[in-house]
A and B are shown apart, each in its own frame.
Chain A
Amino acid sequence: MKVRDIQAEFSLEVAAGSSGLDREIAGGDCGDLLSDVMANSRAGDLWLTIQSHQNIMAVAVLKDLAAIILVNGHRPDDITVAKAEQEGIPILLSPTSSYQLAGGLFRAGIMQKEE
């Protein structure tokens, strides 16, 4: 499943990085501590977080994440948007919580792969 499919199915607003919407999704990770996401996310993951500042882009690039989804109505600042455009990593926006969205993503078939 591609980032574009999830964006359409859950009616997520695309805040930036639309050039990366055709990326294939491998799994997902929820977290607001950057070190935790650095340690535990995997390449191709969707990352659900409330963090919206520019430093989330370094994490997404370094971990080769498929997209960032800002939950609970959070919106990225201008620098974050510019970096996402530059890197081609989508930032999607959801009004719902991480818990609710992650449940929906599981039902849609996005599972976290077991080691």
Chain B
Amino acid sequence: MKKEKHPKLEDLLADLIGKELAKALSQLGEVEIELQDVQIMAEKLVLTIQPSALMRKEAVPVLEKPKELIMSRFEPPKEEWVGKVVEVKIGATPSEGGTRDRTIVIGGESAPAFHLFMETPPHPPIVAMDVFDMEISLPKAIKKYYGDVMSDPVEWARFNVEKYKADMINFHLISTDPLLKDTSPEQAARMVEEVLQAVKVPICVGGSGDPAKDQKVFEKVAEVAQGERILINDVTLDMDVPKMGELTKKYGHAIIAFTSMDLNQARELNRKLYDYLGKENIVMDTTTAAVGYGIDYAFTIMERARLAALMGDEELQHPMAAAASNAWAAREAWIKLPPEWGPKSLRGPIWEAFTALTLLFAGVDYFMMIHPVAVELTRNVINGLIRGRKELPEDLYEWIEREA
């Protein structure tokens, strides 16, 4: 064994180990190579190279720019959800003991809202239209769509179904409020009967927000609507929950359990209702806030509720309801603003539509809405998400380089 300096090392190495490595080695400066067996047969040449020697200079990766597209495939993700939302049926047809011309089923999801690669929602979300039992102050942008019918709840309900093809009516008995007209439970129940006669779609009946009075009103309303399977809006923790549960069951209705942005309360209320009612009769409302006015809280509470339900939390496996008409609480929906923000007549309905659209993505199944344009838009969005068509526009590139 002997050491020698080889003046033409680079060439020799290039033959043996390839040009690139040889070049890298030569750049290290003076190199000593041990040669075993001086009978130089190329195959028997052993190079002892300390790895650290090669590391002395930072290796710059030589990028070979691809010349062809490297074809790859997209693998759709796989999600696992174990829970399922219960289905709640609203309304009853003659064969079911009621007089409605259709029934509506909400809920039944087993994947997060519009994870359409996992599941097409079994039932499309419903947009129900509001009717109030007395004239209330509403922005002009809304009033102009209703005009005279607002003074007659029965006409208003009929108008919503005939003109705007409402899937359901939310009838709000606000006049029963002791601080407003203090309408009696009997009188309120009569109004509900009249609405049930005027329209054949399923209905939802709401109170005034006074827990003691609502309790009495719902007792009467539930009784006169027996068999129609109305949706009672709502029961809260400060009402007599057992009594509300009992009357809902006794007369065969469904009910909205309302809590204010607190999932523990939502669970507690549902749990209390389970003693009297099957799960398939309960819809949850965890409070709706408008875009710009707390929708982030409303959205996240609902999204958490739905994800928890899908992860197996049985106390939250209920369809969700949201009053998107609360959007009008946001001042930007109706206030006068500088001209660059456009007319109020458009800002209002888009506010309500955006509020609904946002909550659609949290998993809401049942919307209560008021502006006819917002209602139509929300229905269009739901259609586009669920029953949408498959054919694409012809030219998918033109928008980049053409006048709009």
A is bound by B: no
